[in-house]
């Protein structure tokens, strides 16, 4: 009888060693936008937020694109996919909130706001395209809103199509 580990046909002895990968990725993706803007709300922080948005969006788009092509195999459980999607989307929302905090928003009573809570709320409402109307972007932030809405549409469409194609492949 051969040993599947030594023959390369079974799971490697280190297959469980990457259990810390997801919390580390979570900490980096969610902590980066907050740390950047708490430490330094200046032009360098804005550039870092845009880089964070570009990197996170590229990771998510590449991840969902590969899932659509290759399918959801045994190494990519549905929980793992949902986890990566949730962390990536939360990271994008936080990066956009950091940008809105920097530019400000017009809130109820036409008051200018730069608070984290208002920026986060505005970013979530923008990502989900709810558009309540209680907050609106200042003129400098209109293009940021366009980018967030378009990314939201594309990433959510890829997420949904990934699940639909996975269900169809399992039948």
**How sure is the predictor about 38, in pLDDT bands with cuts at 50, 70 and 90?**
low
Taking only the tens place, the pLDDT of each residue in 133-170 is: 899 999 889 999 999 999 999 999 888 888 787 777 76
Cα dist from 39 to 44, 55, 101, 128, 129, whole Å: 11, 21, 13, 28, 30
CB 60 within 8 A of CB 69: no
Residue-level pLDDT at 30: 65
Pairing of strands 105-106, 112-113: antiparallel
CB neighbours of residue 159 within 10 Å = 21
Residue-level pLDDT at 72: 64
Residue 102, token pair as written in the block: 């920097």
Residue-level pLDDT at 91: 85
What average pLDDT is seen over the chain? 76
End-to-end CA distance of the chain: 35
Please provide the CATH number assigned to the domain covering 46-170. Answer: 1.10.287.70
Full-model pTM: 0.74
The values of phi and psi at residue 126, to 5°, are -70, -45
Angle at 114 between CA 112 and CA 116, to 5 degrees: 140
Domain ranges of the chain: 46-170
Cα Rg of the chain (Å, integer):
20
pLDDT reading at 12 higher than 60: no
Residue 116, token pair as written in the block: 């984290």
Taking only the tens place, the pLDDT of each residue in 76-122 is: 567 777 878 888 898 899 889 988 988 889 999 999 998 889 999 99
């Amino acid at each position: 009888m051969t040993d599947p580990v030594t023959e390369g046909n079974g799971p490697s002895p280190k297959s469980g060693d990457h259990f810390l990968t997801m919390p580390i990725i979570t900490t980096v993706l969610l902590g980066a936008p907050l740390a950047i803007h708490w430490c330094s709300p200046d032009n360098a922080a804005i550039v870092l937020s845009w880089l964070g948005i570009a990197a996170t969006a590229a990771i998510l788009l590449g991840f969902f694109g590969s899932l659509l092509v290759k399918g959801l195999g045994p190494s990519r459980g549905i929980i793992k996919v949902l986890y990566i999607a949730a962390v990536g989307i939360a990271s994008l929302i936080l990066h956009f909130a950091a940008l809105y905090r920097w530019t400000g928003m017009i809130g109820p009573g036409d008051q200018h706001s730069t608070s984290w809570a208002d920026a986060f709320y505005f970013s979530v409402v923008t990502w989900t395209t709810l558009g309540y109307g209680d907050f609106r972007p200042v003129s400098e932030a209109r293009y940021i809103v366009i980018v967030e809405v378009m990314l939201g549409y594309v990433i959510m469409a890829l997420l949904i199509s990934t699940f639909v194609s996975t269900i169809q492949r399992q039948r």
